[in-house]
Structure 1
Amino acid sequence: MAAIKIPTAFNIDLEFEASDIGQRIGAWFIDLLVRGAYLCLVLVVVSNVNWPSDGKNIFAFWSILIPISFYFLLMEMFMRGQTPGKKAVGIKVVSLLGNPPSFSQHMIRWLFRILETPVIIWGVVPLVSIIRSKYNQRLGDLVAGTIVVNTKNKSKLSDTIFREVSQTDYQPHFPQILRLSDKDLNKVKELMDLALKSNNQELSAKVAYRVRDVLKIETEMEHVQFLETLLNDYNYYVTKD
């Protein structure tokens, strides 16, 4: 399997293991079975309800068309990059930063899936794309900026100082944070995580006081909240356009 090293804005390489084509095909067939089971369920329900024929046909049409058509989009959005098939074989979709795909990335993958669906072109485009691309990406992944990786990652963003600052109107509190290096921030996070894991309030207080002293910051924030805010601010300044 291809190893994927993703450079971050924090001078840290995240290493993932790309899913192979066998896993992708296996996941697709499991999802096909799930959709097939749903189709059979709808047909059984329709055949056992006492409705006029036109009503049955309309109900069956929309009950099948919408869930089947939007299956991958909705599953991957609500299951954070997975479908039942992907979860069963141990793979998931992530962005090229290693975090869950955005709504637009999910949409792009879904729209390109319509062009790539095996029902139309016998799977030639996705198979060729996965085989030929560096990170086993299908066309939709290449355009959306996503990859499909094994869920047993060798490293993950939660192990780094990365924070997903999702608010478009996020307002940073401490511009002084840019005076610290990536190495310094990673040490702060390491100590903060240790304090939280062991419920050691004294350690988190020491770290917070030390950072405040170095950066000449005066704040009434609780210690852990202060440290989390620092990491969010750093992410905001480093990743903003």
Structure 2
Amino acid sequence: MKTLQINTTQNVKINFEMANVGQRLLAFIIDNVVKFAYIYLIIELFNFSLIKDATDGDYWSVKAIDILMFLPLTFYSLYQEILMNGQTLGKRILKLRVINIEGFKPSIGDYIIRWFMRMVDFNLFILLFVYFYSMGYVNSYFGLIYMIFIIGKSIGFFMIVFTSKNQRVGDISANTVVVYLKDNASFAKTILENIKEDYKPVYANVIKLSDNDARIIKDTYTRAKNKKDYNTLIKLRSKIEEVTGIKKPKETPDIDFIATILKDFNYYTKD
């Protein structure tokens, strides 16, 4: 079992269990079942001959509609990881999540890099394969062509197996890892927060905080809360007000105010 050790700002060491190749493969299969279900529904629900008639058989119009209908499949992992805080449906079922290797929440740019590098992890040589296939070389070079196809599809798999942190090329490029969330206590020690899908944020100005700010706030808040150190909570609340410009309502306890700040930060940065 491979683990990732993260040091918090309070020098607390947190160990995460890395998602192994079997878990990631199963999550990948679940996500592909969802994709195939989508394709099946599109084919069953839409009358493509009717669309062709409506566009007077214009080739480019038909192709444009085809692309629009199947566009969600192309960006499936990208928008799911952004909207679901580092998870796709398959990852959520298997309790896996993408996190930054330093313990921070990945940025949208990190998710885009992971998604874009899938072309290396799972589709390397695909253009070469298509070229050979289109040129009619399949019969003459059948073994070579399909070996190219299999190698191109397997790079991500072998990278996860043989790298020290179970990273594919997309993970290495984006400085991310995929972890198994069996230890919710450790997960709670990072800046990441599990918030409900219907959560309503209160303070929009939390976006003035950086990831490192949020990490310091959470570490300090958790320690002060556990020790009932109300003086530290007061100082922490004052610092938050100073940095963000947010003023705590008089009727709201400091501990609840800071908890809301952390939840709001995660809400805004996950989108």
Please give the range of the TM-score, normalised by the shorter of the 2 chains. 0.5 to 0.7
Cα deviation per residue 1:201-223 (whole Å; 9 max; x = unaligned)? Answer: xxxxx7238966xx9xxx99654
| Displacement of 1:72 | 0.6
Q: Determine helix, strand or coil for the equivalent of 1:50.
A: helix
| Displacement of 1:131 | 1.5
Q: Which residue of 2 aligns with 1:3?
A: 3
Letter in 2 for 1:207: Y
Q: Contact 2:233/2:255 (CA < 8 Å) preserved in 1?
A: no
Separation (CA, whole Å) in 2 of partners of 1:76 and 1:92: 9
Alignment gaps of 5+ in structure 1: 171-177, 193-205, 233-241
Cα deviation per residue 1:14-44 (whole Å; 9 max; x = unaligned)? Answer: 1111111011111111111111111111122
Among 123, 133, 136, the residue aligned to 2:163: 133
Moved more, 93-102 or 83-92: 93-102
Q: Which residue of 2 aligns with 1:208?
A: 231
Call closer, same or farther: CA 1:84–1:7 in 2, change over 3 Å: same
Q: Which residue of 2 aligns with 1:82?
A: 87
Q: Is 1:159 matched up with 2:179? A: no
Alignment gaps of 5+ in structure 2: 127-148, 194-204, 211-215, 263-271
- The 5-angstrom pairing of residues 183-198 of structure 1 reads 187-191=223-227
Call closer, same or farther: CA 1:148–1:78 in 2, change over 3 Å: same
RMSD value, Cα: 3.6
Call closer, same or farther: CA 1:191–1:23 in 2, change over 3 Å: same
Identity of paired residues, percent?
A: 26
Q: Which residue of 2 aligns with 1:25?
A: 25
Separation (CA, whole Å) in 2 of partners of 1:135 and 1:103: 21
Q: Is 1:114 matched up with 2:119? A: yes
Q: Contact 1:43/1:60 (CA < 8 Å) preserved in 2?
A: no
Letter in 1 for 2:230: V
Call closer, same or farther: CA 1:150–1:166 in 2, change over 3 Å: farther
TM-score normalised over the length of structure 1:
0.68
Separation (CA, whole Å) in 2 of partners of 1:149 and 1:210: 31
Q: Determine helix, strand or coil for the equivalent of 1:94.
A: strand
Separation (CA, whole Å) in 1 of partners of 2:48 and 2:233: 71
Letter in 2 for 1:139: V
| Displacement of 1:78 | 0.8
Call closer, same or farther: CA 1:8–1:97 in 2, change over 3 Å: same
Separation (CA, whole Å) in 2 of partners of 1:169 and 1:210: 17
Q: Contact 2:4/2:17 (CA < 8 Å) preserved in 1?
A: yes
TM-score normalised over the length of structure 2:
0.61
| Displacement of 1:191 | 4.0
Q: Which residue of 1 aligns with 2:180?
A: 150
Q: Is 1:228 matched up with 2:258? A: yes
Q: Which residue of 1 aligns with 2:13?
A: 13
| Displacement of 1:63 | 0.7
| Displacement of 1:186 | 5.2
Q: Which residue of 2 aligns with 1:96?
A: 101
